[in-house]
Copies of this chain bind each other. A is one copy, B any other.
Amino acid sequence: MSPAGLPPASLLAVAAAAALAVAAVAAWRRPRPVREVLFFPSRPCCLEALLAEGAPARPCPCPLPRAETSLSRLVRRLLSARRSLDLCIFSFSCPQLARAVHLLHRRGVRVRLVTDAQYMGLHGSQIGRLRHAGIQVRHDQHSGYMHHKFAIVDRRMLITGSLNWTTQAIQSNRENVLVVDDAACVKPFLDEFERIWDEYNPAHYSF
């Protein structure tokens, strides 16, 4: 018999039940893993409610639907950033995604943007505008393309896929974007971002 008068087996059973209860509470409190897949084309929609700074005084008068679309879901994921947004985007000309990035920058989120030297100067590119707004931008200086299209939110959520951030890709192409917070996927992309960010430091330019 145990000191409390219970048989040792009873104590074991109580301990097992308590351990199960603790595990159940821990599982219940753990945030659900993020696994979202977005497919494009995404039909045009009004994103004013998401992208307006502060509460809009009145609903946007534009005729576009306010529906949830792949683009609105992508914007929501980006706007969930609280501390940092690391971007590696080959071609970036979509004004709505540029507004989302600019908004995060104004909110004090640390935005770093890597892009492709040959595509950043094309007509419609948003890179100049974002750089002008004070966002740190770096680019390659190779003959190959910086062809990644990924974003890392708060160093813990990866957004990656085939989608270039262009209106053509969003509205006309078959594309995919995968959103995951699995550390085994996020960590290699974080490391790749830091490698590229360092490699593309203007202090290392060779021309």
Residues on A close to B: CB < 8 A?
6-7, 9-10, 12-13, 16, 33, 35, 37, 39, 41, 88, 90, 140, 142-150, 160-163, 168-169, 171-176, 178, 180, 182, 184-185, 188-189, 192, 196
Contacts and interface: CB of A to CB of B under 8 A. Distances in A.
A147 B160 contact: no
Majority SS at the chain A contact face: mixed
A169 B185 contact: no
A128 B150 CA distance: 32
24 contacts: A7-B7, A9-B10, A9-B12, A16-B16, A37-B185, A39-B188, A90-B162, A144-B168, A144-B172, A145-B173, A145-B174, A146-B174, A147-B174, A147-B175, A148-B175, A149-B162, A150-B162, A160-B161, A160-B162, A162-B162, A176-B189, A178-B178, A178-B185, A182-B182
Contact of A37 (B7, B33, B188, B196): B188
Task: Determine which residue in A143, A163, A171, A175 has the highest number of CB atoms from chain B within 10 A of its CB, and name it.
Answer: A175
A160 B145 contact: no
Given A13-B16, A161-B161, 5 more contacts: A7-B10, A12-B16, A140-B174, A146-B174, A147-B169
Contacts of A178: 160, 178, 185
A39 B150 CA distance: 13
Q: Which of A16, A174, A176, A189 has the most CB of B within 10 A?
A: A174
Nearest to A41: B144
B174 A180 contact: no
A175 B9 CA distance: 58
A173 B148 CA distance: 9
Nearest to A34: B184
B176 A144 contact: no
A176 B148 contact: yes
Contacts of A150: 162, 176
